[in-house]
Amino acid sequence: MIHSPYLAKPGKKINLSKYKTDDTGKFKDKENAQPAMDKNLRKLAKLQEMLYAGANHAVLIVLQAMDTGGKDGAIEHVFSSVNPQGCQVSSFKQPTKLELSHDYLWRIHTAAPPKGMIGIFNRSHYESVLVERVHNLVPKKVWSRRYQSINDFERLLAEEGTTILKFFLHISKDEQKRRLEARLEDPKKHWKFDPNDLKERELWDEYQDAYADALSRCSTEYAPWYIVPADHKWFRNWVLGDTIVRTMEELELKYPAPREGVEGIAVK
């Protein structure tokens, strides 16, 4: 776990209203931040290559956000420089009949990245303490005990060699309104608009409370949450890239040793 002003400190009770959504950190604007973002992309490409070559570690990136929070855009930008062979994206939507016949973590565990891979969860096991809680799909006695099982599950992954980073892309209600309106105004973005998003928006406060509890109870030393200011897409991307790069650098990744005798081989 690296030091970051956006870290949800383990054991700390989170109140999301106290976290800025429009922060730009040390940068004045996107143009000012571009060199740093480009540098992170280059670093991530090299780190991912060593991760894939060595196959001694796995990295799991968990992305959660309110609707229009920018999960898809973050994935597109932050991982634009990596080799697709070493990166897998899993999106978790409404469970299928088969998935519902298993425990709620079954479909999550099967999607966890193997060693050598970066796995990205676009939504995740946290839906079971967010959507299911807010919509009363399961009783409180069910979802309230899931925080501990989530922590136990993530500890298992971490102990078996998976580095876990979880990001809550934190946007304001006003910014969500602007993004929803933009989808309606641009015919090319109509495919992104779902009328159900408006119904979910009516539950904004309930979701903020649910997220705050998840961040408070499930940010740990081995699977930390980061609360990312996401009103500015470019800054959101920089925070993700910088956090991922600095965390992977701590793994001290190396290329594997060459096979014995390879130095003397000549290609004819």
pLDDT exceeds cutoff 90 at 151: yes
Q: Which domain holds residue 149?
A: 7-251
Q: Domain containing 125 — which CATH number?
A: 3.40.50.300
Residues 41, 78: Cα–Cα separation, whole Å: 7
pLDDT for residue 260: 79
Whose CA is closest to 164, among 88, 237, 58? Answer: 58
pLDDT exceeds cutoff 90 at 89: yes
What's the DSSP call for residue 28? S
Question: 204-259: per-residue pLDDT in tens?
Answer: 999 999 999 999 999 999 999 999 999 999 999 999 999 999 999 999 999 998 88
Is position 1 within any domain?
no
pLDDT band at 268 (very low <50, low <70, confident <90, very high): confident
Is position 119 within any domain?
yes
pLDDT band at 75 (very low <50, low <70, confident <90, very high): very high
pLDDT exceeds cutoff 90 at 160: yes
Total domain count for the chain? 1
Is position 266 within any domain?
no
Is position 11 within any domain?
yes
pLDDT exceeds cutoff 90 at 192: no
pLDDT band at 36 (very low <50, low <70, confident <90, very high): very high
pLDDT for residue 265: 81
pLDDT for residue 194: 87
Is position 139 within any domain?
yes
Q: Where would I find the beta strands (DSSP E) of the chain?
A: 7-8, 58-65, 87-91, 118-122, 162-170, 225-229
Is position 16 within any domain?
yes
The token duo for 71 is: 């999960």
Please, what is the average pLDDT of the chain? 95
Is position 260 within any domain?
no
Asked if residue 120 lies in contact with residue 89, where contact means CB atoms within 8 angstroms, the answer is yes
Q: What is the pTM of this model?
A: 0.95
The token duo for 109 is: 């565990």
Whose CA is closest to 1, among 239, 241, 251, 213? Answer: 251
pLDDT for residue 219: 98
Percent of the chain with pLDDT over 90: 90
Is position 140 within any domain?
yes
Residues 103, 127: Cα–Cα separation, whole Å: 14
pLDDT for residue 258: 82
